[in-house]
Amino acid sequence: MQKLLIVLGVALLAIGLLWPVISRLGLGRLPGDIVIERDGFSFFFPVTTMLIVSVVLTLIFRSFGK
C-alpha cells in the first residue's frame, strides 16, 4: 500500500508540474466533450478525454503488469 501511495503521489506531482505542457495538447476540449454554458452556470463533462486517458492508463498498467 505504501508503494502505491508513493507512486500516486509522484504521478500527481509530475502532472502538476507538467500541466502547462499538458494543457497545450488540447485534452479537455475534444469533440465529444459535453459543455453547457448558461447565464451564471457552466457544466463541463469531458467524455472523450476520459476515454482517451482510460485507454492510455490501461495500456501502461498492462505493460507493467506482465
Instruction: Quote the CA–CA distance of 14 and 1 in Å, as a whole number.
Output: 20
- Residues recorded for the chain: 66
33 in Cβ contact with 49 (< 8 Å): yes
Query: Phi, psi at residue 29, to the nearest 5°?
Result: -130, 35
Coil/strand/helix, residue 8: helix
pLDDT above 70 (res 66): no
Domain that holds residue 39: 2-65
What distance in Å separates the CA atoms of residue 66 and residue 12, rounded to the nearest whole number? Answer: 24
Per-residue model confidence as pLDDT tens digits over 9-59: 998 898 888 878 877 877 767 888 899 999 999 998 889 988 988 998 899
What does pTM read for this prediction? 0.59
Q: How many domains does the chain have?
A: 1
Residue carrying C-alpha cell 503521489: 9
Give the pLDDT of residue 29.
Answer: 79
